[in-house]
Structures are given as structure tokens and as C-alpha cells.
Amino acid sequence: MIFAFPLSLGGVDVLLKKNTRFILLYDFYQDLLTEKQKQYMTLYFEDDLSLGEIAEEFKISRQAVYEHIKRAETLLEDYEAKLQLLHKYEIRTKTFEEMLQLLEGHVEEECRTLAEKITLLKRLD
């Protein structure tokens, strides 16, 4: 793995959060990466291949794979810092959930209509 954390539960949680973040960033910004970066990111994060397996497949060193992935991660973080698509998505998702919770239990027609519209907006993401 790229990240070196202790094998404690806390380290695993941090690793999972980091991997999840890069997967989400990749979903938003993959079209801004090179084809090679996309291949390495997909194999590493989505297909769960090791650096060694990717290196073997592309006939390059593990270090070269690591550097390509780190460079792509840095680019994804840079894009997010500038465009904030993931941040806005997370806020939007949380707000939709909070709005739906506020409407729960209300049976008036307007509340049902509003809940339907919120659900429709959520599906757009």
C-alpha cells in the first residue's frame, strides 16, 4: 500500500478514509488526468492491485508506479482545492438528508411534494 499506517484500528480507519477520498476525487476529476494516470489509479484504488502487480503488468518498477499514483493524487487534491466539487457534493448531500429528516412525520401535501423534489435533486448527483 502507498500509505504506511500502524495496523491498529485507527490506522485502518484513516487509510480507508484516505482511499475513499481519492476514489471520490477520481470520480469527479478523472477526465483531467492522463490515460496512464487513469490506468494506474483504477488498478490501484478500484481493482485493488498492489504496486508490484501494477509494475509487473506495465513492465516498470514499483517505485515508478508509486510516483505515478502520488502525482495523480497530488493533481486530484489540487483540482479539488480549486474547484471544490467533492466538497460541494458532500455539503449538498448532507443538506438534502437534513431536509428530508425535517420533513419526516409531516403528512401535509406540501411536505410530501417538497420531499419528492429533494429526492429528485439527490438523484441528479
Tens digit of pLDDT for each residue in 82-112? 999 999 999 888 888 887 777 776 667 777 7
Q: How confident is the model at residue 23 (pLDDT cuts 50, 70, 90)?
A: very high
DSSP-assigned states of every residue in 11-63: HHHHHHHHHHHHHHHHHHHGGGS-HHHHHHHIIIIIS---HHHHHHHHTS-HH
pTM strictly above 0.75: no
Tens digit of pLDDT for each residue in 104-125? 766 677 777 777 878 888 787 6
Q: What is the mean pLDDT of residues 18-46?
A: 94
φ, ψ of residue 51 in degrees (nearest 5)? -60, -40
